[in-house]
Amino acid sequence: MTMDKSAIEHIQLTANIPAFIEHLSNHKTEIPIVAIPDNMSINDLERYMPNAARYRLNYETVNIADFIRYNANADQQGALCFIDDESMTAHTIFDLGTLENPLHKAHQAKLKLRKSAAYKSVLAACNNHLPQKLASDFIEDWQDEIIAFSKDGDTMTPLAAARSLRDLTIEAAKEINSKVDDFGESMSSMERVEAKHQEMLPAWIHFKCIPYQGLSERTFKLRVAIITSGEKPALSFRLLREEAIQEEIAEEFKGILEAAFEDSELDTYIGEV
């Protein structure tokens, strides 16, 4: 008796069924699975169970207090939190497991702090040449957070400082003398550019704000400079100790998280994954 190809394939599959079932049983999978006689494909039955086989969630927030509270509620042994103080982010993996018994990393929480509107405005205003109106508007818009000082150290109201920048004028005098004769040509020019009423202008600005939600308020010191190289005057704000301030903010962020997790099961590491 001869057998066709399909019959031979069926005998081969059924002959391997006992060994296949034994192999699945020995692995003791967390999620129930069943062997379907369709080329021996494997389907999980979790969706038919009253409860999930394991907890799965990827939580993301910009609020440091909510991130800390979530970590406290989901805290478990073996969890790790990776803190990146340069990007102002943190990433917790709760079901990481151990080297000997790694888990599925299905439950995680992420934090990414956002700059406050005030801090973004400070950074946008600094290290740029701003037209008079934009510089004046910057001071007016944030007058509740600003204290202005003249070059002599006298305080100025933000409105007075903004008005003085808006009314700033440039006086230019140019004198050109030329002489032409048979032996050549000579020309001399003198240009004088002067900012009037400099004693009435702000020389320093102290800007108070919270750089990131959940961190402490800081005072940012801005040096005001007048740019007279163009046809119209411009203003420049320079943030003093900018890199040092960024390092201090990052250290504060890292310190808050490390202190919050000091008595918890999870460990903290500096870095990212």
Q: Express each pLDDT in 29-40 by its tens digit.
A: 666 666 666 655
Highest mean pLDDT among 29-38, 125-134, 139-148, 179-188: 139-148
In whole angstroms, how far apart are CA 149 and each of 57, 157, 162, 189, 194? Answer: 52, 9, 12, 37, 21
Share of the chain above pLDDT 70, in %: 73
Give me the pLDDT at residue 5, please: 54
Give me the pLDDT at residue 151, please: 85
Classify 250 as helix, strand or coil: helix
- Residue 188 clears pLDDT 80, i.e. is over it: no
Task: Give which of 18, 193, 210, 244 is closest to 122, Cα–Cα.
Answer: 210
Query: Please, which residues bridge with residue 125 across strands?
Result: none
Share of the chain above pLDDT 90, in %: 44
Mean pLDDT of 4-30: 60
Query: Worst-scoring range by mean pLDDT, 11-15, 56-60, 115-119, 267-271?
Result: 11-15
Task: For residues 265 and 241, give the distance between their C-alpha atoms in angstroms, rounded to a whole number.
Answer: 38
Task: For residues 174 and 170, give the distance between their C-alpha atoms in angstroms, rounded to a whole number.
Answer: 13
Task: For residues 117 and 188, give the distance between their C-alpha atoms in angstroms, rounded to a whole number.
Answer: 51
Classify 107 as helix, strand or coil: strand
- Residue 53 clears pLDDT 90, i.e. is over it: no
Task: For residues 125 and 139, give the distance between their C-alpha atoms in angstroms, rounded to a whole number.
Answer: 10
Per-residue pLDDT tens for 251-264?
999 999 999 998 88
- Residue 199 clears pLDDT 80, i.e. is over it: no
Quote the tokens at residue 145. Answer: 């957070």
Give me the pLDDT at residue 111, please: 97
Mean pLDDT of 225-231: 79
- To the nearest whole number, what is the mean pLDDT of the chain? 80
Quote the tokens at residue 112. Answer: 């990414």
Model-level pTM?
Answer: 0.71
HSE-CB at 176 with a 13 A cutoff on CA atoms is 2
